[in-house]
Amino acid sequence: MFSVLYNLYVQTLGYPDTMNGTLVSVQSFATALIFIPIGLLGDRTSHKLLLMTGALFTGLSFMGRSLASGESALIVLSAAAGLFAAFFQVIAVPFLAGNSDKKQRLKLFSYHFSLVLAAQVIGSSGGGYLADVLQSAGWSKIQSLQAVLFTGGAASVLAFVPLLLIRQKPAVQKDASAAPPGPALSHPLPSSAREDWSAIAKFTLAQLIVGLGSGLVVPYLNLYFTNRFDVSLTAVGILISLGQIMTIVSMLIGPSLAS
Protein backbone atom coordinates (compact mmCIF):
# COMPACT_ATOMS: atom_id res chain seq x y z
CA MET A 1 0.00 0.00 0.00
CA PHE A 2 2.80 2.42 0.89
CA SER A 3 4.91 1.69 -2.16
CA VAL A 4 2.04 2.65 -4.47
CA LEU A 5 0.26 5.41 -2.58
CA TYR A 6 2.63 7.19 -0.21
CA ASN A 7 4.42 9.48 -2.64
CA LEU A 8 1.05 10.25 -4.24
CA TYR A 9 -0.11 11.30 -0.75
CA VAL A 10 2.94 13.55 -0.37
CA GLN A 11 2.23 15.08 -3.78
CA THR A 12 -1.42 15.62 -2.82
CA LEU A 13 -0.25 17.51 0.28
CA GLY A 14 1.19 20.05 -2.17
CA TYR A 15 4.88 19.18 -1.97
CA PRO A 16 7.04 19.17 -5.14
CA ASP A 17 8.53 15.94 -6.50
CA THR A 18 11.85 16.88 -4.90
CA MET A 19 10.23 16.24 -1.51
CA ASN A 20 9.44 12.67 -2.53
CA GLY A 21 13.05 12.25 -3.62
CA THR A 22 14.20 13.54 -0.23
CA LEU A 23 11.92 11.14 1.66
CA VAL A 24 13.01 8.13 -0.40
CA SER A 25 16.66 9.08 0.12
CA VAL A 26 16.26 9.61 3.88
CA GLN A 27 14.52 6.25 4.30
CA SER A 28 17.09 4.40 2.21
CA PHE A 29 20.00 6.11 3.96
CA ALA A 30 18.59 5.22 7.39
CA THR A 31 18.21 1.60 6.26
CA ALA A 32 21.78 1.52 4.94
CA LEU A 33 23.15 2.95 8.22
CA ILE A 34 21.43 0.36 10.40
CA PHE A 35 22.08 -2.73 8.24
CA ILE A 36 25.50 -3.62 9.69
CA PRO A 37 24.60 -2.84 13.35
CA ILE A 38 21.47 -4.99 13.02
CA GLY A 39 23.55 -7.84 11.57
CA LEU A 40 26.00 -7.61 14.49
CA LEU A 41 23.12 -7.42 16.97
CA GLY A 42 21.48 -10.42 15.33
CA ASP A 43 24.61 -12.47 16.06
CA ARG A 44 24.25 -11.67 19.76
CA THR A 45 20.54 -11.71 20.49
CA SER A 46 17.27 -13.41 19.57
CA HIS A 47 16.26 -13.17 15.91
CA LYS A 48 12.64 -13.56 16.96
CA LEU A 49 12.87 -10.57 19.29
CA LEU A 50 14.39 -8.42 16.54
CA LEU A 51 11.69 -9.44 14.07
CA MET A 52 8.95 -8.64 16.60
CA THR A 53 10.52 -5.26 17.33
CA GLY A 54 10.84 -4.51 13.63
CA ALA A 55 7.21 -5.45 12.88
CA LEU A 56 5.81 -3.40 15.76
CA PHE A 57 7.77 -0.20 15.20
CA THR A 58 7.66 -0.38 11.39
CA GLY A 59 3.87 -0.49 11.60
CA LEU A 60 3.72 2.35 14.13
CA SER A 61 6.00 4.51 11.98
CA PHE A 62 3.83 3.77 8.93
CA MET A 63 0.71 4.78 10.83
CA GLY A 64 2.42 8.02 11.86
CA ARG A 65 3.46 8.71 8.28
CA SER A 66 -0.13 8.31 7.10
CA LEU A 67 -1.22 11.18 9.35
CA ALA A 68 1.82 13.48 9.18
CA SER A 69 1.74 16.52 6.91
CA GLY A 70 4.58 18.78 8.13
CA GLU A 71 7.93 18.59 6.40
CA SER A 72 9.93 17.77 9.54
CA ALA A 73 7.49 15.05 10.61
CA LEU A 74 7.55 13.47 7.15
CA ILE A 75 11.36 13.32 7.15
CA VAL A 76 11.70 12.00 10.73
CA LEU A 77 9.07 9.30 10.23
CA SER A 78 10.65 8.28 6.91
CA ALA A 79 13.95 7.78 8.72
CA ALA A 80 12.19 5.77 11.46
CA ALA A 81 10.47 3.56 8.89
CA GLY A 82 13.81 2.95 7.17
CA LEU A 83 15.49 2.00 10.44
CA PHE A 84 12.87 -0.48 11.61
CA ALA A 85 12.10 -1.99 8.20
CA ALA A 86 15.79 -2.97 8.06
CA PHE A 87 15.18 -5.43 10.93
CA PHE A 88 13.15 -7.66 8.61
CA GLN A 89 15.41 -7.19 5.62
CA VAL A 90 18.49 -8.31 7.56
CA ILE A 91 17.11 -10.91 9.96
CA ALA A 92 14.32 -12.70 8.06
CA VAL A 93 16.50 -14.93 5.86
CA PRO A 94 19.01 -15.90 8.62
CA PHE A 95 16.01 -16.66 10.87
CA LEU A 96 14.52 -18.97 8.24
CA ALA A 97 17.89 -20.60 7.64
CA GLY A 98 18.47 -21.16 11.36
CA ASN A 99 15.09 -22.85 11.79
CA SER A 100 15.12 -25.20 8.81
CA ASP A 101 17.16 -28.05 7.37
CA LYS A 102 19.62 -27.32 4.58
CA LYS A 103 17.62 -29.32 2.02
CA GLN A 104 14.48 -27.28 2.81
CA ARG A 105 16.03 -23.83 2.50
CA LEU A 106 15.92 -23.18 -1.24
CA LYS A 107 12.20 -23.90 -1.43
CA LEU A 108 11.58 -22.14 1.88
CA PHE A 109 13.29 -18.96 0.68
CA SER A 110 11.35 -19.08 -2.59
CA TYR A 111 8.05 -19.48 -0.75
CA HIS A 112 8.97 -16.71 1.68
CA PHE A 113 9.83 -14.15 -0.98
CA SER A 114 6.89 -15.20 -3.16
CA LEU A 115 4.43 -14.76 -0.30
CA VAL A 116 5.90 -11.35 0.51
CA LEU A 117 5.46 -10.31 -3.11
CA ALA A 118 1.95 -11.81 -3.23
CA ALA A 119 1.00 -9.69 -0.23
CA GLN A 120 2.50 -6.68 -2.01
CA VAL A 121 0.34 -7.43 -5.07
CA ILE A 122 -2.76 -7.46 -2.86
CA GLY A 123 -1.66 -4.27 -1.14
CA SER A 124 -0.78 -2.51 -4.39
CA SER A 125 -3.98 -3.31 -6.28
CA GLY A 126 -6.29 -3.36 -3.24
CA GLY A 127 -4.94 -0.12 -1.80
CA GLY A 128 -5.46 1.81 -5.01
CA TYR A 129 -8.94 0.37 -5.44
CA LEU A 130 -9.92 1.17 -1.84
CA ALA A 131 -8.71 4.76 -2.20
CA ASP A 132 -10.83 5.18 -5.34
CA VAL A 133 -13.88 3.67 -3.59
CA LEU A 134 -13.52 6.07 -0.66
CA GLN A 135 -13.21 9.03 -3.02
CA SER A 136 -16.33 7.95 -4.92
CA ALA A 137 -18.10 7.81 -1.53
CA GLY A 138 -17.34 11.48 -0.97
CA TRP A 139 -14.00 11.40 0.86
CA SER A 140 -11.39 13.90 -0.21
CA LYS A 141 -8.27 12.56 -1.94
CA ILE A 142 -6.10 13.29 1.10
CA GLN A 143 -8.55 11.61 3.50
CA SER A 144 -8.86 8.51 1.33
CA LEU A 145 -5.10 8.17 1.00
CA GLN A 146 -4.61 8.68 4.74
CA ALA A 147 -7.19 5.98 5.53
CA VAL A 148 -5.60 3.43 3.18
CA LEU A 149 -2.06 4.18 4.37
CA PHE A 150 -3.15 3.95 8.01
CA THR A 151 -4.68 0.54 7.22
CA GLY A 152 -1.38 -0.57 5.73
CA GLY A 153 0.47 0.54 8.85
CA ALA A 154 -2.00 -1.30 11.08
CA ALA A 155 -1.47 -4.47 9.01
CA SER A 156 2.29 -4.19 9.62
CA VAL A 157 1.66 -3.89 13.37
CA LEU A 158 -0.48 -7.04 13.25
CA ALA A 159 2.56 -8.99 11.99
CA PHE A 160 3.74 -8.74 15.60
CA VAL A 161 1.05 -11.25 16.67
CA PRO A 162 1.99 -14.35 14.60
CA LEU A 163 5.64 -13.72 15.40
CA LEU A 164 4.75 -14.21 19.07
CA LEU A 165 3.56 -17.74 18.25
CA ILE A 166 6.77 -18.85 16.54
CA ARG A 167 8.86 -21.35 18.49
CA GLN A 168 12.51 -20.87 17.67
CA LYS A 169 15.00 -23.72 17.43
CA PRO A 170 17.38 -23.79 20.39
CA ALA A 171 20.80 -22.44 19.49
CA VAL A 172 23.52 -25.04 19.04
CA GLN A 173 26.36 -24.45 21.50
CA LYS A 174 29.81 -24.54 19.97
CA ASP A 175 32.45 -26.72 21.60
CA ALA A 176 34.88 -24.31 23.26
CA SER A 177 37.52 -27.05 23.55
CA ALA A 178 37.77 -27.15 19.75
CA ALA A 179 38.99 -23.58 19.56
CA PRO A 180 42.73 -23.14 18.96
CA PRO A 181 44.70 -21.95 22.01
CA GLY A 182 46.08 -18.42 22.31
CA PRO A 183 44.94 -15.14 20.78
CA ALA A 184 43.95 -15.33 17.13
CA LEU A 185 43.65 -11.64 16.36
CA SER A 186 47.30 -11.30 15.40
CA HIS A 187 47.10 -14.18 12.94
CA PRO A 188 46.32 -13.55 9.26
CA LEU A 189 42.85 -14.44 8.04
CA PRO A 190 42.57 -18.05 6.84
CA SER A 191 42.12 -18.47 3.12
CA SER A 192 38.41 -19.36 3.57
CA ALA A 193 37.81 -16.07 5.39
CA ARG A 194 39.63 -14.13 2.66
CA GLU A 195 37.47 -15.88 0.07
CA ASP A 196 34.35 -14.97 2.06
CA TRP A 197 35.30 -11.28 2.11
CA SER A 198 36.08 -11.39 -1.60
CA ALA A 199 32.64 -12.85 -2.31
CA ILE A 200 31.00 -10.26 -0.05
CA ALA A 201 32.80 -7.46 -1.91
CA LYS A 202 31.63 -8.78 -5.29
CA PHE A 203 28.03 -9.12 -4.14
CA THR A 204 28.19 -5.64 -2.62
CA LEU A 205 29.37 -4.13 -5.89
CA ALA A 206 26.63 -5.92 -7.80
CA GLN A 207 24.00 -4.72 -5.31
CA LEU A 208 25.28 -1.14 -5.60
CA ILE A 209 24.75 -1.24 -9.36
CA VAL A 210 21.31 -2.87 -9.06
CA GLY A 211 20.35 -0.42 -6.30
CA LEU A 212 21.36 2.56 -8.44
CA GLY A 213 19.08 1.45 -11.25
CA SER A 214 16.11 0.51 -9.08
CA GLY A 215 16.46 3.67 -7.00
CA LEU A 216 16.16 5.78 -10.14
CA VAL A 217 13.04 3.97 -11.37
CA VAL A 218 11.00 2.01 -8.82
CA PRO A 219 10.00 4.72 -6.28
CA TYR A 220 8.68 7.02 -8.99
CA LEU A 221 6.75 4.66 -11.29
CA ASN A 222 3.39 5.57 -9.75
CA LEU A 223 4.08 9.31 -10.07
CA TYR A 224 5.04 8.77 -13.70
CA PHE A 225 1.79 6.95 -14.48
CA THR A 226 -0.46 9.43 -12.68
CA ASN A 227 1.30 12.59 -13.89
CA ARG A 228 1.73 11.59 -17.53
CA PHE A 229 -1.36 9.48 -18.21
CA ASP A 230 -3.80 10.73 -15.55
CA VAL A 231 -4.85 7.17 -14.62
CA SER A 232 -6.87 6.22 -11.54
CA LEU A 233 -5.30 4.93 -8.34
CA THR A 234 -6.81 1.51 -9.09
CA ALA A 235 -5.05 1.43 -12.47
CA VAL A 236 -1.74 2.48 -10.88
CA GLY A 237 -2.07 -0.33 -8.32
CA ILE A 238 -2.75 -2.88 -11.06
CA LEU A 239 0.18 -1.68 -13.17
CA ILE A 240 2.59 -1.97 -10.22
CA SER A 241 1.09 -5.36 -9.31
CA LEU A 242 1.77 -6.79 -12.76
CA GLY A 243 5.50 -6.31 -12.28
CA GLN A 244 5.31 -7.93 -8.85
CA ILE A 245 3.38 -10.90 -10.24
CA MET A 246 6.09 -11.58 -12.81
CA THR A 247 8.69 -11.41 -10.03
CA ILE A 248 6.69 -14.05 -8.11
CA VAL A 249 6.70 -16.30 -11.18
CA SER A 250 10.47 -15.98 -11.57
CA MET A 251 11.04 -16.75 -7.87
CA LEU A 252 8.83 -19.83 -7.94
CA ILE A 253 10.66 -21.32 -10.93
CA GLY A 254 14.07 -20.44 -9.41
CA PRO A 255 14.55 -23.73 -7.47
CA SER A 256 13.68 -25.79 -10.57
CA LEU A 257 16.12 -23.81 -12.70
CA ALA A 258 18.82 -24.21 -10.03
CA SER A 259 18.23 -27.99 -9.94
The three-class DSSP label of residue 43 is: coil
What does the pLDDT read at residue 84?
93
The Cβ of residue 102 has, within 10 Å, a number of other Cβ atoms equal to 7
d(CA 86, CA 71): 23
d(CA 55, CA 112): 16
Instruction: Find, among 214, 160, 220, 159, the residue nearest to 6 by Cα.
Output: 220
Maximum alpha-carbon separation in the chain: 74
Instruction: Collect all residues with Cβ–Cβ distance below 8 Å to 61 and sequence separation of at least 6.
Output: 77, 80, 81, 84, 153
What does the pLDDT read at residue 191?
62
What does the pLDDT read at residue 259?
81
pLDDT per residue as tens digits for the range 77-104: 999 999 998 998 889 888 888 888 888 8
Q: What's this model's pTM, rounded to 2 decimal places?
A: 0.76
d(CA 79, CA 74): 9
Instruction: Find, among 100, 109, 105, 150, the residue nearest to 130 by Cα.
Output: 150
Instruction: Find, among 254, 248, 55, the residue nearest to 161 by Cα.
Output: 55
User: Per-residue DSSP letters for 79-113?
Assistant: HHHHHHHHHHHHHHHHHHHHTS-HHHHHHHHHHHH
Instruction: Collect all residues with Cβ–Cβ distance below 8 Å to 55 and sequence separation of at least 6.
Output: 87, 88, 156, 157, 159, 160, 163
Q: Which amino acid is at 64?
A: G
pLDDT in tens, the chain (259 residues): 888 899 899 999 999 888 988 998 999 899 989 988 998 998 888 888 999 999 999 999 999 999 999 999 999 999 999 999 899 888 988 888 888 888 888 888 878 887 888 888 888 889 989 999 999 999 999 999 999 999 999 998 998 888 888 887 765 544 444 444 444 444 555 567 788 888 889 998 998 898 888 888 877 888 888 888 888 888 888 888 888 888 878 877 877 888 8
Helix axes 47-67, 71-98, angle to 10 degrees: 160
